[in-house]
Structure 1
Amino acid sequence: MTRRPVPTTAASGSRLPASFVMLIGSFTLLPAMSTDMYLPSLPQVATDLGTTAAGAQFTITGMVLGGAAGQLIVGPLSDRVGRRKPALVAVSGHVLISLLCAIAPSIGVLAGLRLLQGFFAASGIVTAIAVVRDRYTGSEVARLMSRLMLVIAAAPMLAPSIGTVVAGQWGWRAVFLVLAGVGGALLVFALLRLPESLPPERRQRHGVGALARGYLDLLRDKRFRALAVLPGMAQAVVISYVAGSPFVLREQFGLSGGQFSLVFALGGASLVAGSQLNAGLVRRISPSRLLRVGAPAMAGSSAVLVVMVVGGVGGVLGLLVPLWCALFALGFVTSNASALALSRHGERAGTAAATIGALQSGVAGSVSPLVGLLGGDAVAMTSVILGTAVVALLVLGLATPIYRRQGWVALDAPGSDPSPDLEGAGLVTSAESGATATA
């Protein structure tokens, strides 16, 4: 099979190739589809398998936690053998696990399979981020990752509606058959179009011990740690909403399946709108300066959200409007924090991407069960969202210089970014190598 060559990155400020965005977005889409299409079935799963709301919610959390473990393995592996092979194997595994989920006899088996499903689906996220970092650097990374939200947004906008129809007609097990079909289609797409962005001469040739030391080197970087955990805090906000919303909106507020799907789609649209505004602004304003605005905006919107819910103000709109504002602000957090973290360790993009992804999954998977444990109602869901947003703001403010005088300049400066090597390989633009965008 003839593989398409990896195109050279265009100059800073040029249009990002739509085909490349769709290609990378297709991998990041798979975990989101696997969560959002299944989401409306949670109450039905709880009834059918004789479990509680918290037990059903763990089938969401379990996939997130499995993704954390998967990325820690797939990331360094992709630095060693390339990006293409691990991605293809893992998507194939995702298809197989989806078929097994469709015949799961108990909630324990289903939860275990969802852990494995998250493990395999993680390759999509870590491979996508690593391929992006192989080809781009600086603000172009933040810009492209923001554009990926256009593709990822298809999940919350369409998947719940599809899942509602499928589960309504054929039961929740049929949802996993559809997911197997989606994974199969993505596998064919990847076989035909996924390029190998890491040439053999740039691959890591060290053993397991060196890979472990690579993680330690990353974690010794205080600023990397702080920036890498921020996408996890942002994801925890999203997953807390995702896991709690079927019970809060459908059972507490009485929304129908169609109304829930519409509300969920509007939430996804809010996140996309924030991400696309970020993608446009990051060409003129540095990622760090956008991040220092986005994080407090997310925390402030979450505070209003809790006040509205606890005070019983505005009913369902009192819940949704500040929630959508928080999701809009979140669009300025994930992409910029990830881009700044990756810019510090471009020589091991797969390991760095895996660390970010594992923290993203691990933090989100650890925080989101609190919604069910605290009662699973609107107060529990919004309180967890607020607490997570506040912690994210504290991490950013205390562990980075972003709020100090001219602190964003130091934060934008790359760490061990091997930009000359990448330029020599024709994979990044010299104008973007170590450049700091200005307002």
Structure 2
Amino acid sequence: MTKKQEQNIILLLGALQGIGPFSTDMYLAAFPTIAQELNVTIAEVAYSMSSYFVGICLGQLLNGPLVDRFGRKNPLLLMLGVYIIASIGCSMVNSVEGLIVLRFFQAIGGSMGMVANRAIVRDVFPANRLAQVFSTMTLVMGIAPIIAPSVGGFVVVCLGWRAIFWVLAAFASLILVLVYYFLPESRGKDRSVSLKPKAVLTDFYSILQNRAFLGFTLMAAMNTAGIFAFIANAPFVYMKLLGLNEQTFGWVFGLNAASFVVGSQLNRWLLKYHSSETIAKRGLLVQAVMGVFLVIVVAFSYLSLGSLMSLVAVYTFCLGMIGANAMALAILPFSKNVGSATALLGSFQMGAGAVASAICSYFDDGTAMPMVSVMAGVAFIGLAGLGFGSNYSQPFDKNDEAVFAGDH
């Protein structure tokens, strides 16, 4: 594989990964407008975020075996089509229940991008470069969480909230075309992979027997839970409690998201000198401290725009350092059934995100305390997962050299 091929793969996979942040972040600024038009509360609109997380979780469990059985590319194209159709449907709903249901199916389609994305990275790149590649992809797709809320706020003001989902459909359509013409198949069909429920469950069970996978997946899941506890509640905290309008919220949220990207890029440099486990441990320790400070700020009524932005910036900076390392460590033991392994990893991540956002909604008390409490708690659980996984992890195999399927 040439250097140019590598760069093209990373660029396209980064763009594909951007579908997720656009799908979650772009309509955040529209929560108050959607709630007003559909005559519901913002908390009820937030359930559409939770349904998206549930769809991402279940969708990956469905899509993982598909990419192991039929290759990476064709299932990806099919599910991008599902995502596009569901996005158009979201633009036409007249009830919050309809939005919640269609967001679920939107996630089913979008989840294939997450499964195929990570499987392709494992196919194409050697094991000792996985964390670095994931960090590079974060840089490529990092523009999405930075600009999505701002773009969403602009679209809401100029075109209305329904136009947001047309923009998402157009973006996914562009990605579909690029995948069709420019993404090579990294692993062909494997007829030995059975799609019978019993065989699929047996495969999942065998993956879950790997204790290193369990520990590092818990760490990755808590990382995602921290991200989405903030994402799902940021509109309420910034706009209702702190009084920001849609467009200002977009810029402020984007600045917090930018710190995530900076953290991921610092991780690329740190990987030259430290192991993934060491970097993740230090990031989790700082993240936990920031979580505790956030709880203290809210508990003693010191919450302000400056305090929230600064503490969340450091918190998300640490998330950026942790995420790529957690994913790389979790999928490292697998090759043949990497699609199913990445599906389980992703489903646990999105399941944790769904639970975190639902907990915040359930314990909604009109303050930021549910959000910051979850953000603090998941950091400590992530540390426990790292410790467990480290006890069973194996060093990188220098002979593990992944290649294009076409290069065999």
TM-score bucket of the superposed structures, by smaller chain: over 0.9
Structure 2 partner of 1:385: 375
1:199 to partner: Cα distance? 3.1
CA drift of 1:301 comes to 1.4
Distance 1:121 1:207 in 2: 21
| C-alpha separation in 2, matches of 1:291 and 1:102 | 40
Cα deviations by residue, 1:159-194 (Å, 9 ceiling, x for unpaired): 111111111122111111111111111111111111
**SS across alignment from 1:17:** helix
Distance in 2 (alpha carbons) for counterparts of 1:70 and 1:423: 27
Please give the residue correspondences for 1:178-327 in structure 2 after superposition, counting only pairs within 5 Å.
178-200=167-189, 204-208=192-196, 209-313=198-302, 315-327=304-316
Partner secondary structure for residue 344 of structure 1: coil
2:382 is matched by which residue type in structure 1? A
Contact 2:70 2:188 in 1 (8 A): no
Counterpart check, 1:49 vs 2:31: no
Find the aligned partners of 1:304 and 1:47 in 2 and give their Cα distance. Answer: 34
CA offsets, 1:317-354, max 9 Å, x none?
A: 11121111111111122111110111111221111111
Structure 1 residues 126 and 212: alpha-carbon distance in aligned structure 2, compared to 1, 3 A threshold: same
The residue type equivalent to 1:25 in the other structure is G
Partner residue, 2:126: 137
CA distance in structure 2 between the aligned counterparts of 1:64 and 1:314, rounded to whole angstroms: 28
2:149–2:250 CA contact under 8 A, matched in 1: yes
Structure 2 contact 126–402 (Cα < 8 Å) conserved: no
Q: Does structure 1 retain, via aligned residues, the 8 Å contact 2:63–2:343?
A: yes
> Shift of the alpha carbon at 1:420?
5.7
Matched residues in 1 for 2:404 and 2:184: separation?
Answer: 19
Map of 2:330 onto structure 1: 341
The range that moved more, 362-371 or 80-89, is: 362-371
Per mean C-alpha deviation after superposition, the further-off stretch among 145-154 and 355-364 is 145-154
Confirm whether residue 109 of structure 1 aligns to residue 124 of structure 2. no
1:284 Cα deviation after fit: 2.8
User: Which residue of 89, 102, 115 corresponds with 1:100?
Assistant: 89
* Contact 1:224/1:341, CA 8 A, preserved across alignment: yes
Deviations 1:370-406 (A, max 9, x none): 2222225312211111112122122323x23x4xxxx
Name the structure 1 match of 2:149: 160
Deviation at 1:423, TM superposition (A): 6.4
Q: Distance in 2 between matches of 1:365 and 1:235?
A: 10
RMSD: 2.2
TM-score (norm 1): 0.87
Aligned AA (1:348): N
Preserved CA contact (<8 Å) 1:83 1:127: yes
1:411 aligns to what SS in structure 2? coil
What is the match of residue 361 of structure 1? 350
Q: Is the 8 A contact 2:151 2:250 kept in 1?
A: no
**When the two structures are aligned, how many residues end up with a matched partner?**
406
Equivalent-residue separation in structure 1 for 2:407 and 2:130 (angstroms): 13
C-alpha separation in 2, matches of 1:299 and 1:16: 39
Shift in CA distance, 334/145, structure 1 to aligned 2, threshold 3 Å: same
Cα offset, 1:126, TM superposition: 0.8
2:386 aligns with one of 355, 377, 396: 396
Q: After the TM superposition, which of the residue ranges 418-427 and 225-234 deviates more from structure 2? A: 418-427
Secondary structure at 2:337's aligned position in 1?
helix
Give the structure 2 partner of residue 70 of structure 1: 59
- Aligned-residue sequence identity (percent) comes to 31
Matched, 1:411 2:399: no
Matched residue SS, 1:346: coil
Which of 107, 113, 134 is 1:118 aligned to? 107
Q: Report the Cα distance in structure 2 between the residues aligned to 1:371 and 1:26, rounded to whole angstroms.
A: 30
State the distance in 2 between where 1:226 and 1:30 align.
27
Verify the 8 A CA contact 2:220 2:323 in the aligned structure 1.
yes
> Which of 108, 116, 135 pairs up with 1:146?
135
Task: Give the corresponding residue for 1:432.
Answer: none
Q: CA deviation at 1:367?
A: 1.4
Structure 2 stretches lacking a partner, 5+ long: none
In structure 1, stretches of 5+ residues that fail to align are 1-6, 429-439
Deviation at 1:219, TM superposition (A): 0.7
With structure 2 as the length reference, what TM-score do the two structures score? 0.94
Aligned equivalents of 1:270 and 1:212: distance in 2?
Answer: 39
In structure 2, give the amino acid aligned to 1:131: I
Within 5 Å, give how 1:69-88 maps onto structure 2: 69-88=58-77
